[in-house]
Amino acid sequence: MRLDDLIWSATPTPFLADGSLDDGALERLVAQHRRLGVQGLFLGGTCGEGPFMPNTQRAELVQTIRRLNGSALHLAVQVSDTSARRVRENTAQAVDAGADSVVIAAPWLRSFVNREFARRYFFESLETPCPVPIGIYMLPQPPETGIDLALWQEIVEHPQVKYVKDSTNSDDCCHMLLSVKRRRGELVVRSGYEFDFLRPLQAGYDGCLLGTAILNAGLMARAARALLDGDLATARVWQERNNQLLYDLFRPDLSAWMSGLKYALCRVGIFSTEYSHLADPLTADDRRRIDAALERERAYL
């Protein structure tokens, strides 16, 4: 774990009220991440609403961020889809738009996925030559998809895979990834679980890749710094402080995840609209709670 490359952000995407990209907010988004010390951006992921965006808009997003960012931040772009052919097409588009790496998650249409489908999806994607590094995004999968621990291990052992975002919050997945990492020393493993990022860092993960880093990277960096200094008690205080902020933004059951995050980003002046494809409604109580949380943590956001 290195503080100078610890935190990557699976950033949300700012839209105007008509669903087009908000270029002014994208400029503020880049500035915010750089101010907080984030080293990499994950564009078009789940938090970035990439699966809901037209291909041309995803390419526009990457091109705009590349123009605004230069080479200051690593740009990873999610290329997941419903088939290996579509993944390959998305990969070519992302590379042309300026991606530094691409990320493949499981197929979106889970009800149609079985083990053989999943094997073809991942391995046909990985066995196609790619001019940039490939990352794998591990999310918990229903048993009927056949994407289990053994298959994940086969996937991350593939020599084309250079890094992993692990959002499973699973001890078994953690042990498997660290075992593969011991055999493949160049493999980079990042935690994608905001509510307990200290435990995987202690175990040997290289860093974090989190959908909330655009707001809470300052809190996470303080937790990680305390961990590196051997002060686990202080690190846990920062982790709990981070968790309280997230529960205030998203509700304890996380049912206001995207809407709470976008409202908060508008309140701190980074986004100009709350537009989201997910459109989860906020209540007046939600807005008051989020406002209070932002004021409480203002010095670290």
Q: What is the CATH number of the domain that holds 163?
A: 3.20.20.70
Instruction: Give dist(CA 226, CA 234) in Å, integer.
Output: 6
What are the tokens at 90?
A: 């998305």
Look at residues 77, 66, 142, 129 and name the one whose alpha carbon lies nearest to residue 103. Answer: 77
Asked, for residue 275, whether it belongs to a domain, the answer is no
Could you tell me the residue range of the domain that residue 92 belongs to? Answer: 3-231
- 26, 64 Cβ separation under 8 angstroms: yes
Write down the pLDDT at residue 50. Answer: 94
Write down the pLDDT at residue 4. Answer: 66
Low-confidence stretches of the chain (pLDDT < 70) are 1-4
Tally of domains in the chain: 1
Could you report the per-residue pLDDT of 19-31, keeping only the tens digit for each?
999 999 999 999 9
Asked, for residue 294, whether it belongs to a domain, the answer is no
Asked, for residue 24, whether it belongs to a domain, the answer is yes
Asked, for residue 159, whether it belongs to a domain, the answer is yes
- 98, 124 Cβ separation under 8 angstroms: no
Write down the pLDDT at residue 111. Answer: 79
Write down the pLDDT at residue 5. Answer: 84
